[in-house]
Structure 1
């Protein structure tokens, strides 16, 4: 969640809120040159550097100053939204590409985490090996971000690249569970490896406030905001059986030489299997792997816990009263038309700076404030809270 003042929140809830947008190149304000504003989107499990394109008026050749010097593309640009006395920085980054056509110049911006996609870890002849010890998950993630990607290694909340408060909280989860891994990198892209760590730990890693944020969701958090029929533009609720997973196998103790696993663990939910039939998946990785059965079981249990039921998924369009909300925040949604009145966790978001609308994609797979009975012998599908 973005940190904003109470005055900001109060004004944001108004249907006639005087929203203001701003576009900066360096410290220069070019807001009055913008012809079309972008949509800025994020999702919980994707650390690929994000890009947006913004069109600017160049009738007077104002932006031709980029042409003689390619290094100027490294100038930091910022997209902001809010009120004239307080703005949220929705995206900050450098120019990845320029396109001049007639009287318009199109700037494609990429956030500073481009470093994660520009860097590779190890190579085929000199791999980066993390097998001489059993590494904690967060230690390997830290090495990928800092030693291999060039992000700041400052171990305080002053770190300009990593949200250190969220990182330490995330680290404590795996320290408590003693989850350990090994890795062998042979020219792997750093962003792909960070995404793999997220997948192997059922974690969220995303960019917020121009920093990498880390989180492993707890089963229930308090709701940060409520949306009812009057506060939304539209909504869709879906139920998708393809998300079911009630038996999970996870490989561990991978042998690089023989390319085999010394351990395979499994976890199953018999109640879910009885109701839906077996929905199985195996997790086996040859780049990053668990070293022991306890560590592997941690993932198997988590995946089954989240996948054992068909949880509702919502797509909600709303004005910008929740602009300060972000990935991982929990919301209450009440919409009689689509038959929903419950709590959900935001897993994806998209802000249209052009239309002044925010889209939330939220689900209950990682927010369970109730428990479902095994109703196979009953005539009800109620959820008790």
Structure 2
């Protein structure tokens, strides 16, 4: 008799059936345990990746986008000051450039894909050109040469058509990576879940076969294995769902608020550029005025989407638009000096004062949203901490219970 023939005949006997149940169920337990443990451990590593790499890179991209917008607004404000601008105005522009350079360096270090490398290379190439044009405009402005405004418009055009669109692409890509990592952390490990269900099916089928072959209603080992597997399944699902809840990835979650607030601050800077450039051109203000209205309308919508519909930021925006209307009225009445004073003056109701207050509110809200995002990711990692070891231990215990419960039944026939 050949070996395979003996195996086939033995498998048809009662000890052969019990042995097959033991082998299949044990292997299923070990496979499910290692798979679930590995998938849950990967989720913990993903939370570490978000905290150590993905979110910091997204913050750097957002900082780059905001800083470039702030630099453009600062350059226009400094030019509008005429002659030698105040140290405060100059410092605002230079600080925005320094922040942009720092953010660009961090974004460059984290650019691992071809698209990101191309974006940061383009920004790095255009930024010196932009600053050169601004300095040329400043030099001409200090000497009273009208050509300075042309250089500033050229610099702003480079910012609006190249630098900011590139920064926006990088910003969107980085935030998309954060959302993708959060989704992976909060998603059920379906492969592991299916294997756990397979173990439960194996326990059920094995119990039915044992009942038919041995007339014993319950095998304690198989029953314990099923209970341990069910507990592992509940632990896996419960830990994952709890992690998804603290991540708060919905439309009102920290990540969404962070994106809306970052967009709001960028729109504010762009509207401020529109406001000052309208006075620098000393001509028809229809185009910059329309751009200002578009940016501030989108800004208000962003604040509403971020859940800040009734906040100090909204009130600061209202005051700013009121100040801008006063500036436009003065300009239309040919009171250019009054319009400039309203735009860059230090009076409590000036556009500059209201804009500074709005920007401060947005910075604070951004910092809080970022802290909430990172806290949620950190809490998700904490909730998952014991799950890889716990589920693996339960499935190892299930495998041991199957062997302990079925081996004596096999020995009864040997």
The two structures have a TM-score, normalised by structure 2, of 0.24
Q: Which has the larger radius of gyration?
A: 2
Give the number of the structure whose residues are more often strand, by fraction. Answer: 1
